[in-house]
Chain A
Amino acid sequence: MTVALRRFVFHLVSLSLLGLGFAQASFGGTIDTRSLMALEAGDAARERVLELLDREDVASRLAELGVEPTLVQARVAAMSDAEIAAFGERLDAGMAGGDAIAVIGVVFLVLLILELVGVTNVFTKI
């Protein structure tokens, strides 16, 4: 868990750095193709986060913590693409060995979701 936690903090930091800039244009003012790829990846990641919230084990754990899943969903919808993309990368890292829940644990996943949508503020003060 400590390694996972350290990685989590690392990703939170990289999350804050991600929003720094759109890729520089290759031809005066053109938005380059890689920027669109990043936007599309953000959309896909957003869908996956919302799918996670639909999972029964995640939803019930959130309910135990007294958090309304619809509230979290609204916050996910309000997150920037860069924030979502960073979360998507975190998920990819967690899922490399299989199912996210199995690998990083439902409690951790719920904490991650809560943190990312700003319900909690456990890890950001570093």
Chain B
Amino acid sequence: MCSRRSDARVSATRPGAGLLPALFFAALLAGCAAQPDLAGVRPAPELSATPFHPQERYQCGPAALLTVLEHSGAEASLDALVEQVYLPGARGSLQVELLAATRRAGRVPYVLPGTLAALAAEVAAGRPVLVMQNLGVRLIPRWHYAVVIAVDPAGGRVVLRSGTERRRVTPLGLFARTWARSGNWAFVALGPGELPATLERERYYDALAGVEESGRPALALPGWQAALTQWPGDAVAQFGLGNARLALGDWRAAEHAYRELLAARPALAPARNNLALALLEQGRLAVAEAEAQQALADADPGSALAAEISDTLARIRAAREAQSSRSGSPSSTSR
């Protein structure tokens, strides 16, 4: 959220008022000013084509989000985003809601490693970075969202789209401290199948799993495909690909993805469970039952996974019984 303190917020939204908090920090932090860690921070020239949406009062969240979404080519409007992420009672927006709204706009929110080097790498790759800052102090926080559009390690400064300022130039050290007080929270909005400059396997998979859980398999699918170009044969990415196809109702393609994975990892019970479901949806009930039984045999007895597979098996058996009572003969016909 931008702020919980209306007095601080009001003064900060007046043009030119940014100097006061800056002086306040300078006085407050002069005693403990550590130099920011510039290791690996490369210069990132200004992304001057980044859109600018001056925020109205507390709405730095929707405004910053619209800025990165528009830059990534997503369709979005300030009104819609305000509705999605703005909490009038708190006069601000929550981080998780910014991530959720990014998914709703058809973009993958990738939370960056919390280093200046990572931030600069993304800006250098042409992606403005949405950052959370605490412009106050720990005890009296004044939360703020802004968008980094340039990092200049030699000149010791960053350029932000921030509040009502189109180009807010902030000393790197000051920025690093306000950013650190938010836990170095930052993310970029990736298009379908786009890989970040700061690609890390766990982070990227976490981002795609979030997209999957939000019920957007069409957005997750190209992401898993991109991951497989980066890490060919990776089990999680291959599994994710199968799950996205399954959720899209592309049963045969899902079956293919799971079979490919199982050829390399025959004892991977979750993949075999989902394969059984892909077969069930195709009406191939006898094979589906055999796969589910094998999956159950491969899972740890008594585990939560085994319980899930038992449910799958029960569903398949129920479908077979329904089929045989309809046709009078237990067969495994294809639809």
Contact = CB atoms under 8 A, between A and B. Distances in A.
A48 B315 CA distance: 38
B209 A37 contact: yes
B236 A25 contact: no
Contact of A27 (B235, B239, B246, B305): B246
B212 interface: yes
B50 interface: no
Interface of A, secondary structure class, is loop
Given A37-B205, A37-B209, A37-B236, A30 B243 contact: yes
Contact of B308 (A19, A20, A22, A80): A22
Interface in B155-181: none
B305 A22 contact: yes
B312 interface: yes
Interface of B, secondary structure class, is helix
The contact size tier of chain A is 20 to 34
Interface string A20-35: 1110011111111111
A22 B304 contact: yes
Contact of A26 (B205, B212, B304, B308): B212
Nearest to B210: A34
B311 interface: yes
B277 interface: yes
Interface of A: 19-22, 25-37, 39-40, 80-81
Interface of B: 202, 205-206, 208-209, 212-213, 215, 235-236, 239-240, 243, 246-247, 268, 270-271, 273-274, 277, 300, 303-305, 307-308, 311-312, 315
